[in-house]
Amino acid sequence: MFAALKPQAPDKILALMGEFKADTRQGKIDLGVGVYKDPTGLTPVMRAVKAAEKRIWEAETTKAYTALAGEPAYLAAMARMVLGDGLDAGRTASLSTVGGTGAIRQALELARLGNPGVTVHVSDPTWPNHLSIMQFMGVPFVEYRYFDDATRGVDFEGMKADLARAKQGDVVLLHGCCHNPTGANLTLDQWAEVSAILERTGAVPLIDLAYQGFGDGLEEDAAGTRLILSRAPEAMVAASCSKNFGIYRERTGVLMVQVEGAGARDVAQGTLAYLNRQNYSFPPDHGARIVQTILDDDGLTADWRAELEEVRLGMLALREQLAAELRDLTGTDRFDFVARHRGMFSRLGASPEQVRRIKEEAAIYMVGDSRLNIAGLNRDSVPVLARAIVDAGV
């Protein structure tokens, strides 16, 4: 049986992590995988997370199963955080998932149950694992134009034209904020236009919200999602707590599904629980409990929000510094897009050959499509990166 297995191509982002680890050069810089690092290179446990874990440890008397769809208090807290006042609880089913990736997977499973002929529309480019999961599942997808290589901004005219081809019952996968891998994002006016296209076509939005709080702020980063959900009859949101709570390895995510019509919520809720049962039964609880403990406590929430804001502003300062360094070195403003992008990532627009040179000559690791993780930088490494970018002829 196992002799028939074929080697799988390694995930590019995860393979880069291994390559970086094996590099013995002093001063190497990891701008690959999307993990936040503080100026000393550490991915810290957030203060509120530590405090919540202590409370949980002290109060917890059992490790018995919770609910199949996940702890209801966690699901309610996340729905409030993501959807705010726009939450329509009577129309929203939700599921605790194994991270944001698990939420994406379950969303695709649900879409396929609802429409076996579903086609998913994805941005070009998108997070490579979106494509990989769909290929694995055999879910057909088509790409819509998203990134303008010339301006390093959103090709909104191209995006609109391509989305207009979506059909009733298709899924349109959107990045709620902090687009991965480009860092280029829609304005609220553009979200409204996307919403109108969804309405015209009858396609169902699936919003991947993995970086809420890393772009323009916790509320601001959810604004596009909230706008879409306020208008769409049906919608899905896959949210991750990995980044904004810094609990990557706890695998904490949520899938929210907005439905319409009497009775539809209960059926959707039951189907979501069924999907958990088929795939891994009960979802992991520890991360969900941390998040719920924080969000249900005013003091912990305030401290968490303050630390998240420090993280966000730190990344913005690094963006400004990198853009300024590149302005000085090149005497042009052609890298100013770095300061306009939001979130962890920016797509630099370097060729694979230039990315390779930067890795070989300067020991700076970025993903092959020239996505760089801004949070992997600090004040001292920004000038090193800027110099390497210019030396590689980007």
Which residues does the annotation mark as catalytic?
127, 208, 210, 243
Of 97 and 180, which CB lies nearer to ligand LMR in the complex structure?
Answer: 180
245 binds ligand LMR (CB under 6 A): no
Nearer to ligand LMR, 87 or 213 (CB): 213
Does residue 33 bind ligand LMR (CB under 6 A)? yes
Residue 109 near residue 275, CB atoms below 8 Å: yes
The strand pair at 92-98 and 29-30 is best described as unpaired
Cα–Cα nearest to 308, from 236, 254, 241: 241
Least distance CB 191 / ligand LMR (angstroms): 22
Q: 33 or 273: whose CB is closer to ligand LMR? A: 33
CB of 225 to ligand LMR, least distance (A): 18
Q: Measured from the CB of residue 101, what is the shortest distance to ligand LMR in angstroms?
A: 7
Q: Which two tokens stand for residue 231?
A: 């208008």
Which residue in 30, 31, 34, 92 binds ligand LMR (CB under 6 A)? 34
- Give yes or no for residue 375 binding ligand LMR (CB under 6 A): no
Beta strands in the chain (DSSP E): 29-30, 92-98, 120-124, 141-145, 147-148, 153-154, 171-175, 204-209, 235-240, 252-258, 345-347, 364-365, 371-373
Smallest gap from Cβ 211 to ligand LMR, in A, equals: 9
Tracing tokens 């690094």 back to the chain, one arrives at: 318
Nearest 5°: CA angle at 109, between 14 and 262?
A: 140
Among 20, 36, 127, 144, binds ligand LMR (CB under 6 A): 127
Q: Which is nearer to ligand LMR, 240 or 258 (CB)?
A: 240
Binding of residue 374 to ligand LMR (CB under 6 A): no
In terms of CB distance, is 129 or 378 closer to ligand LMR?
A: 129
In single-letter form, the type of residue at position 193 comes to E
Ranked by CB distance to ligand LMR, the top (closest) residue is: 34
Nearest to 86 by CA among 218, 207, 231, 190: 231
Rounded Cα–Cα distance for residues 29 and 16 (Å): 12
CA angle (141 as vertex; 33, 183 as ends), nearest 5: 35
123, 180, 225, 346: which one binds ligand LMR (CB under 6 A): 180
DSSP 43-79: -PPPHHHHHHHHHHHHH--------TT--HHHHHHHH
Phi-psi region of 365 (alpha: psi -120 to 50; beta: other; left: phi over 0): beta
Q: Give the nearest distance from C-beta 90 to ligand LMR in angstroms.
A: 33
For the CB of residue 167, give the shortest distance to ligand LMR in the complex, in Å: 29
Q: What is the C-alpha separation between 229 and 81, in angstroms, rounded? A: 14
- Residue 13 or 374: which CB sits closer to ligand LMR? 13
Q: How far is the CB of 129 from ligand LMR (least distance, A)?
A: 6
Q: Give me the long-range contacts of 117-122 (CB less than 8 A, separation at least 24).
A: 117/169, 118/169, 118/170, 118/171, 119/166, 119/167, 119/170, 119/171, 120/170, 120/171, 120/172, 120/173, 120/206, 121/162, 121/163, 121/166, 121/170, 121/171, 121/172, 121/173, 121/203, 122/173
By the rule CB under 6 A, 13 interacts with ligand LMR: yes
Q: In this complex, which beta carbon is closest to ligand LMR, that of residue 127 or of residue 365?
A: 127
Number of residues that bind ligand LMR (CB under 6 A): 6
Instruction: Give the residues lining the site for ligand LMR (CB under 6 A).
Output: 13, 33-34, 127, 129, 180
